[in-house]
Structure 1
């Protein structure tokens, strides 16, 4: 079950959130546009296997066409609305990747991916998944 922790009295800076993620690599952490922390449980074997397959297929397609860069679920994106998201798989065109400086490439990428895949696990609700996909669309995906 995904847990959303509301931070109404204080906000983590981008640097603090990045450091929190680095210090807690066993947790899947995201932030919504309001700055609330979202803690997601690890996935089970079936979901993890499906995630690996989806990412592999996207990577193979990109490797064949060499049009961009592929990211797995450990990659973070700072969306234009301020949310920090880590889709199960994502792709950006090579031009976007090359436009980033080395420091930006080492942090959560400051952009919305052009293509994302979010695989629903048994603990995800359809409503939450739809809202998340709408957020990607609203931010340029």
Structure 2
């Protein structure tokens, strides 16, 4: 299963409304749109990646329930980023005050906000360079901390606002730093 990128920009520029209608009319297809306006068709994940995604999500949800600092979002959530992209990270987190500042209408659609934190878990079918481009796009859009976890290479790339990515080979844990205070992800569930 491959990800397909369609560059329709020479022919048509989808408005936000048209993009939302496209998604509504094809609910079985996961669409994203990058900052250049290219349409990205995402394949579903396989069983191993899906299992790891939910295990990772559980750790974030439990931490967030205890800390009450923000809101956790799954991979079905599409965010309208300030740079024009419509992106769906595998997991996202937004500080409570930022989320609650959005109108109810904005929260019900593709929320027009860059998450504070994003996580992408590389599937065997994902192209690593495409994921790195996506992480760079998140940084440019204002995401403060991001983790790109590559199970096959047993590597984690850490993206921080305004800095070059840091690569770690086979880390045991990842720390939420000041963005996710008190959170530590045990990577034994990934490797």
Same fold (TM over 0.5): yes
| Equivalent residue, structure 2, for 1:128 | 130
In structure 2, the partner of 1:111 is: 113
* Residues in 2 aligned to 1:53 and 1:34: alpha-carbon distance in whole angstroms: 33
In structure 1, runs of 5+ residues without a counterpart are none
Which residue of structure 2 aligns with residue 42 of structure 1? 44
What CA distance in whole angstroms lies between the structure 2 residues aligned with 1:54 and 1:26?
24
Gaps of 5+ in 2: 144-191
In the alignment, which of 76, 80, 83 is matched to residue 81 of structure 1? 83
Distance 1:129 1:21 in 2: 21
How large is the RMSD of aligned CA atoms in angstroms? 0.9
The residue correspondences of 1:87-102 to structure 2 (distance < 5 A) are 87-102=89-104
Instruction: Give deviations 1:84-130, integer Å, cap 9, x for gaps.
Output: 00000000000011100111001111111000001100111111111
The structure having more radius of gyration, on CA atoms, is 2
| Higher helix content, 1 or 2 | 1
Larger relative contact order (CA 8 Å, sep ≥ 6): 1
Asked if 1:9 is matched to 2:29, the reply is no
Question: How many equivalent pairs are there?
Answer: 141
Q: How far did residue 23 of structure 1 move?
A: 2.0
Kept after mapping to 1: 8 A contact 2:35/2:137: no
1:17-28 matches, cutoff 5 A: 17-28=19-30
Report the Cα distance in structure 1 between the residues aligned to 2:98 and 2:26, rounded to whole angstroms: 28
| Large movers: runs of 4+ above 4 Å | none
More strand by share: 2
Q: CA deviation at 1:54?
A: 1.4
Give the secondary structure class of the aligned counterpart of 2:40: strand
